Homo-oligomer: A and B are copies of this chain.
Amino acid sequence: MLANNHSVVFYDLELLKKPGLAWSPNTCKTRFALNLKKIPYETKWVNFDDIKTVIPAITKSDKRPLVPVIVHDDEPVVDSWHIAQYLEEKFPNNPSLFHGNVATHRFFQNYSEKHIIPAVFRLVLLDIHQSTGDQALQDWFRQDRESWMRGKTLEQFAGDASDNIAKLKSGIAIVSAHLKEFPFVTGEQPGWADVALLSHLAFLAALKPEIFKDHVLCDENMRAYWNRTEYIRSGVASPNL
């Protein structure tokens, strides 16, 4: 389906050396939310270089350019959390993200951001760096990110893989127990809590598939959940994908 003024255009972040791979946990949240709500959309890929010009032209903002951004009815909406609330409001007849319980979904996202994604981020950081693009783009990424890392190099920040894997497994333990009891984090129907978790797992699955397989999918509850949610991740149920 071609985009028109009423359809959603979704800006996702591309690694130039891995074209078409949905890897960023922030943009995956928006992608999976659109899929869960069965909202048609057109993906426009921006890489770490052209994000600096493409996104400010859309948002008309001089803040640091970030994705996800969606454009709907000619208006840009920025930030995965704001986009989720926008989609819930604008598409009330589509499947719900929050099921009327925004706060408990948000708590789950906060849990996952504290107890799951930091370990994933350290596990994949060097792969992101190496996949950004040419040497100039890799150098920019290193300089940009190391300025946030309190004097640590990317390698020092990434740390020891086995430590990160242990932390990841510890964070997943109560999620696995939950998914033994309920088909989705949200319960009988998936929702935003699932979108958040899946986006964090997809981050690892995209960039470290062996670690994902050996330390997440090895858990039978997580594997069954991953299979059960394939339609949310791939959007196969979405009419225009």
Docked complex Cα distance between A185 and B106 (Å): 10
Indicate how many identical chains form the complex.
2
B-side contacts of A231, CB under 8 Å: none
Tell me if A187 is interfacial: C-beta within 8 Å of chain B.
yes
4 nearest A-B residue pairs (beta carbon) = A103-B187, A104-B104, A101-B101, A103-B182
User: Which DSSP category, helix, strand, loop or mixed, fits chain A's interface?
Assistant: helix
Would you give the 0/1 interface string for A9-47, flagging 1 where the beta carbon is closer than 8 Å to chain B? 000000000000000000000000000000000000000
Q: Are the C-beta atoms of B103 and A186 separated by less than 8 Å? A: yes
Q: Which residue of B lies closest to A99 (CB)?
A: B101
Tell me if A177 is interfacial: C-beta within 8 Å of chain B.
yes
Please list the residues of chain A having a beta carbon within 8 angstroms of any beta carbon in chain B.
99-108, 110-111, 114, 174, 177-178, 181-182, 184-188, 191, 193
Q: Are the C-beta atoms of A106 and B186 separated by less than 8 Å? A: no
B-side contacts of A178, CB under 8 Å: 103, 106-107, 110
Could you name 16 residue pairs across A and B whose Cβ atoms are closer than 8 Å?
A99-B100, A100-B100, A100-B101, A101-B101, A101-B104, A103-B187, A103-B188, A104-B108, A104-B193, A106-B178, A106-B181, A107-B107, A107-B111, A107-B185, A110-B174, A111-B174
Q: Are the C-beta atoms of A184 and B111 separated by less than 8 Å? A: no
Docked complex Cα distance between A99 and B191 (Å): 15
Q: Are the C-beta atoms of A185 and B108 separated by less than 8 Å? A: no
Docked complex Cα distance between A191 and B174 (Å): 21
Q: How far is the CB of A119 from chain B (nearest CB, A)?
A: 16
Q: How far is the CB of A139 from chain B (nearest CB, A)?
A: 35
Q: How far is the CB of A117 from chain B (nearest CB, A)?
A: 13
Q: Are the C-beta atoms of A177 and B110 separated by less than 8 Å? A: yes
Docked complex Cα distance between A187 and B108 (Å): 13
Q: Which residue of B lies closest to A173 (CB)?
A: B114
Which residue of A101, A107, A177 has the most chain B CB atoms within 10 A of its CB atom? A107
